[in-house]
Copies of this chain bind each other. A is one copy, B any other.
Amino acid sequence: MNSSTSTSLPRLAQRLDDIEPFRVMAILARARALEAEGRDIIHLEVGEPDFATPEPIVQAGIAALQAGHTHYTPALGLSALRQAIARYYDERYGVELAADRIAVTPGASGGLLLAMTALFNPGDEVLLADPGYPCNRHFARVVEAEAKSIAVGPDTGYQLTAELVTKNWGPRTRGVLLANPGNPTGSVIDADSLRAIHAVVREKGGWLLVDEIYHELIYDRAEPTAAGLGDDVIVINSFSKYFLMTGWRLGWLVLPEALVPAVDKLAQNLFLAAPTLAQHAALAALKPTTRALLEAHKAELKARRDYLLPELQRLGFEVLAKPAGAFYLYADCSRFTDDSEAFAEHLLQEPGVAITPGTDFGAVEGRSHVRFAYAVELGRLKEAVQRLERCLS
């Protein structure tokens, strides 16, 4: 039988009007189409490192498959993995956490959904920085809470501060979501500022959530974590970026003890559990022997940043957000255009360099900014700079 066609469909949910697609995905699709025509495109748009998952992690995945680990795990994850993550906080940050405060999630995305669902009612307001990662705002929208974007700029290092949180806290505000390091800027909130924000949020009686998915990718300074601030903070983390496990879809939450039963029942209902295979593989990601490989990749990312930042500045981009972490440069392109989307399209079509318009990340400065992801090898970065130079000079 063939599907019969209906002429009109019932209406969709209103929240769809407030949830934007990633422009970067459309750019990626057009880049792929150009490649299919034989063009050579340099991909500085995608927020995913080019490195494959390191071999010890892959081998642990294969071993898990061979051992038949294909059934569900408990909703909050394998006990051994929760313990290993807790130990990691102690060894890496000197923060002691009970293993049952760790919830293993299907990516940081799954963690954010669990946290938002557990904490916020319709109409509750959550403060976030603009520019910022758009999904963080959209997760709030899904549960009918409201993300209140606060413009940040060079004066606060492109991050929220205790002062901004105090100033913007309203009668409906119930929490703050920070990203540290941030995307698209790579900016970092230091430990003192983190403590000051936490003190304000606690005093206001709200929740502090900190997205630390680019943890361990901070290049020149001490690595802060909010996990040690107190047991009223929620940390969202991921095996995707530093551990190079994007496609495995695995993350975790550090939760207040009192929140664990609520998140457990939500995880049972919303996900059943995170992928079993990825959980077994992640045990290998946390082993000291894997660390040397991961640190080599981190050094490579730092070398890319150290090359690309001055080159972009030389070409006429202004980079006011100090890119201390992650693998992004958020660059002011207003010397060249007042329309970052048209500019990104032009750079894709002409010199074949794919970048992301700032409009993916914020309403305030989005049209005058673009994001460069240094997720391709140094040789390709150099080629990209040469192409940009020819096109923009």
- Please, what's the 1-or-0 string for A134-153, where 1 marks a CB less than 8 Å from any CB in chain B? 11001100111000000000
Contact between B73 and A66 (Cβ–Cβ < 8 Å)? no
Question: A53 CB to closest chain B CB, in angstroms?
Answer: 4
Docked-complex contact B231 and A16, CB < 8 angstroms? no
- A119 in contact with B13 (CB, 8 Å): yes
Interface residues of A in 316-369 (CB under 8 A from B): none
Interface: A189 (CB within 8 A): no
Q: Which residues does chain B contribute within 8 Å of A61, judged by CB atoms?
A: 65, 277
Contacts A5-B230, A13-B120 known; A72 to B247 CB distance under 8 Å? Answer: yes
The answer for the CA separation of A331 and B122 in the assembled complex, in Å, is: 39
Q: Is the CB of B10 within 8 A of A230?
A: no
Q: Is A9 an interface position by the 8 A CB rule?
A: yes
Out of B10, B205, B247, name the residue touching A10 (CB < 8 Å). B205
Q: Copy number in this complex? A: 2
Complex contact B68–A65 (CB within 8 A)? no
Q: Do A12 and B265 have beta carbons less than 8 Å apart?
A: no
A244 to B227 Cα, complex, angstroms: 38
Note all chain B residues with C-beta closer than 8 A to A202: 6
A selection of 9 A-B contacts at a CB cut-off of 8 Å is: A9-B232, A12-B118, A13-B120, A52-B71, A107-B271, A122-B144, A135-B270, A247-B275, A249-B273
Q: How far is the CA of A138 from the CA of B265 in the complex (A)?
A: 11
B269 touches A1 (CB 8 A): no
Is B272's CB under 8 angstroms from A275's CB?
A: no
Q: Is B262's CB under 8 angstroms from A275's CB?
A: no
Expressed in whole angstroms, the Cα–Cα distance for A97 and B270 within the complex equals: 28
| Chain B residue at minimum C-beta to C-beta distance from A16 | B262
**Using Cβ atoms and an 8 Å threshold, which residues of chain B touch A313?**
none
Expressed in whole angstroms, the Cα–Cα distance for A109 and B105 within the complex equals: 14
**Interface membership of A258, Cβ < 8 A:** yes
Docked Cα-Cα span, A122 to B121, in Å, equals: 12
**Chain B minimum-CB-distance residue to A228:** B1
Q: Given the complex of chains A and B, what is the CA–CA distance between A381 and B71 in angstroms?
A: 20
User: Is B269 in contact with A139, judged by CB distance below 8 angstroms?
Assistant: yes
A residues adjacent to B (C-beta < 8 A): 1-6, 9-10, 12-16, 19-22, 25, 48, 52-53, 58, 61-62, 65-66, 68-75, 94-97, 106-107, 109-110, 113, 117-122, 134-135, 138-139, 142-144, 174-175, 202, 205-207, 227-232, 244-249, 256, 258-259, 261-262, 264-266, 268-278
Q: How near does chain B come to A74, taking the closest CB pair, in angstroms?
A: 8
Across the interface, do B52 and A271 meet the contact criterion of CB distance under 8 Å? Answer: no
Q: Bound state CA distance, A69 and B58, in angstroms?
A: 10
- Are B134 and A269 in touch, CB under 8 angstroms? yes
CA distance A64 to B314 in the complex (A): 42
The answer on a CB contact under 8 Å between A94 and B144 is no
Which of A48, A229, A259, A265 is packed against the most chain B CB atoms within 10 Å? A265
A297, B139: Cα distance in complex, Å: 40
In the complex the two chains form, is A230's CB within 8 Å of B121's CB? no
Contact of A264 among B21, B48, B135 (CB under 8 A): B21
Q: What is the minimal beta-carbon distance from A301 to any residue of chain B, in angstroms?
A: 16
Question: Could you tell me the distance between the alpha carbons of A22 and B96 in the complex, rounded to whole angstroms?
Answer: 31
A121-B6 contact in complex given A94-B1, A134-B269, A273-B247, C-beta closer than 8 Å? no
Residues of B within 8 A of A66 (CB): 58, 62
- Residues of B near A2 (CB, < 8 A) are 95-96, 228
Which of A15, A119, A205, A247 has the most C-beta atoms of chain B within 10 angstroms of its own C-beta? A247
Cβ-defined contact, A52 with B68, below 8 A: yes
With a cutoff of 8 Å between Cβ atoms, the chain B residues found around residue A247 in the complex are 69-73, 273, 275-277
Residue of B nearest to A174 (CB): B10
Complex CA–CA separation, A230 to B2 (angstroms) = 8
What's the minimum C-beta distance from A142 to chain B, rounded to whole angstroms? 6
